[in-house]
């Protein structure tokens, strides 16, 4: 998919006309029916990795580092 067609698709999905046609649910609701990670207005990501770190010596809460990969429209 070219950058131009991707940008055009984003512009159409975010337009007032499409918002009116999908009211009251909104565009994202219908995109989620096709693929839960597709969205026009919200930022979504998939978890790539979770790295658990050792518990602090002072007995504090455990710590984890989560790496995310942002999604985009197809």
pLDDT 10s digits, 22-53: 778 777 777 777 777 777 777 778 899 999 88
**Which residues are CB-contacts of 24 (< 8 A; sequence separation ≥ 6)?**
none
Q: Which domain holds residue 39?
A: 3-70
Domains in the chain, number: 1
CA separation for the pair 15, 18 (Å, rounded):
6
Instruction: Supply 29's token pair.
Output: 């609701």
Q: Is 36 exposed, middle or buried (0-12, 13-18, 19+ CB in 10 A)?
A: exposed
Whole-model pTM over 0.75: no
**Which residues are CB-contacts of 38 (< 8 A; sequence separation ≥ 6)?**
31, 32, 71, 73, 74
């Amino acid at each position: 998919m070219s950058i131009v067609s991707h940008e055009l698709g984003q512009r159409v999905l975010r337009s007032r006309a499409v918002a009116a046609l999908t009211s009251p649910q909104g565009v994202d609701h219908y995109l989620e029916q096709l693929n839960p990670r597709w969205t026009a207005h919200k930022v979504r990501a998939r978890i790539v990795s979770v790295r658990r770190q050792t518990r602090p010596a002072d007995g504090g809460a455990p710590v984890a580092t989560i790496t995310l990969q942002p999604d985009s429209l197809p």
